[in-house]
Chains A and B, each alone.
Chain A
């Protein structure tokens, strides 16, 4: 395991196998929190944090608790339980320490609890048979990719608010079209990292 391998994992997760645009995970916050650049950034940071912590907790849990006793089949329910508790703790911490950030995230922070992108990255870590460090880097990359897409999307949507869009396309329809075009653009990263 070399540094270049870790870098490849990072960019592979961030760009090539982007959570939102090629795995179609985490679409709810992708459309819900991408109206304003500032809250999109906060949401992205929250997801990065939750992904990192979730990976750091679920990887040892799977390899040292579930695998030795042959309970691999229980990983979904155990992971959901653990991630839900984690998000609860993180939400509590943000609420008590940084009210501004809490206000900015609003309803979407509790939504991370059942965010498939967070659950998804923990499963990918297991399925790809990553080591602990690789799993962390993959989570970081996935979170960074999620944040990047969220930021791009919110930047575009802020401009769309000012643009003269045909009436029928205003609001959600144009957002879906933009999301599709973004997905096409990210498809081009396919050849970048093996």
Chain B
């Protein structure tokens, strides 16, 4: 009996001594690194989406980088905060930095308007990655958006939706934070990150040079006619010989949009309102009107 009591006493004593040792060491050691404490506070002000758009592996790593050097905020701004004025102001106030002009950032674009007809029925796994594995997908155009929404799946902001009629991914620029997750996941490589002030883009990625096959494959495919280049006198549109597709600058090119025989030069949300070509156009922001 006494052995039991002694055993309990011994264990308690050893535990007590160990506890006191931890307490003493805790007191002797310097407090947690200041920049770490600051990083913890900064992290509270960040969105916490861990999207990686800023180029850092997660919000805490970003907070640590910012805590060490506040200029990181300007060099690689947080894309989510850039749209959240209140949150930006809070973080700016905390760090004593003005965040109001952090630059335009990037937005994602889908180079397809999705009208390619289906030439088969696909019943497999409902992901783009799986669908393109099987004979290149069910759509006729080998460059078309597959439409199973792998990009919408990875989007941290739910900015991408799939248009059910045309089976094509549509990016909502209001929500897009330009993180590039969709770019990485698209098996067709149709999504591109562009500066947020890009006014127009080509809704097609049809690359084949020979026999203007785009006309056959899709009613809204680029036929490489170069009308857009000819229509833009100021050089807003140049021809990319390597891709055999037009390339746009950040200057709005209303004439090129109007001249395109397939109406696949699409305006983005950044296209200035009221700017029209000689003839009025009714092309919607995200839709190719026929």
Contact = CB atoms under 8 A, between A and B. Distances in A.
Nearest to B19: A85
19 contacts: A74-B7, A74-B10, A81-B18, A82-B14, A82-B18, A85-B18, A85-B19, A85-B21, A89-B21, A89-B22, A92-B25, A93-B25, A95-B32, A96-B31, A96-B33, A97-B29, A97-B30, A99-B33, A99-B36
Interface of B: 3, 6-7, 10-11, 14-15, 18-19, 21-22, 25-26, 29-33, 36
B29 A78 contact: no
Interface of B, helix, strand, loop or mixed by DSSP = helix
Contacts of A96: 29-33
A93 B29 contact: yes
A97 B21 CA distance: 18
A188 interface: no
A16 B137 CA distance: 57
A78 B14 CA distance: 7
A71 B10 contact: yes
B237 to A, nearest CB: 43
A78 B6 CA distance: 13
Contacts of A64: none
A3 interface: no
Interface of A, helix, strand, loop or mixed by DSSP = helix
Contacts of B6: 69, 71
A96 B29 CA distance: 7
Interface in A81-110: 81-82, 84-85, 88-89, 92-93, 95-97, 99
Given A69-B6, A89-B22, A93-B25, A77 B11 contact: yes
Contacts of B31: 96
A84 B71 CA distance: 42
B7 A71 contact: yes
Contacts of A77: 11
Contacts, number: 46
Contacts of B32: 95-96
In the complex, which range does the number of interface residues on chain A fall in? 20 to 34
A73 to B, nearest CB: 8
Interface of A: 61, 65, 69-71, 74, 77-78, 81-82, 84-85, 88-89, 92-93, 95-97, 99
- Pick the 10 closest A-B CB pairs, nearest first: A85-B18, A96-B29, A89-B25, A88-B22, A78-B14, A96-B30, A81-B14, A81-B15, A74-B7, A99-B33
Contacts of B29: 92-93, 96-97
Nearest to B36: A99
A88 B15 CA distance: 13
Contacts of A81: 11, 14-15, 18
Given A81-B14, A92-B26, A95-B32, 8 more contacts: A69-B10, A74-B10, A85-B21, A92-B22, A93-B25, A96-B29, A96-B32, A99-B36
Nearest to A73: B7
Contacts of A95: 32
A27 B29 CA distance: 32
Nearest to A74: B7
A33 B30 CA distance: 28
Contacts of B33: 96, 99
Contact of B10 (A78, A82, A89): A78
A81 B21 CA distance: 12
Contacts of A99: 33, 36
A89 B10 CA distance: 21
Nearest to B15: A81
A93 B7 CA distance: 31
Contacts of A65: 10
* Residue of A74, A85, A97, A99 with highest tally of chain B CB at under 10 A: A85
B2 to A, nearest CB: 11
Contacts of B22: 85, 88-89, 92
A96 B36 CA distance: 10
Contacts of A84: 18
Given A96-B30, A96-B31, A99-B33, A78 B11 contact: yes
Contacts of B7: 71, 74
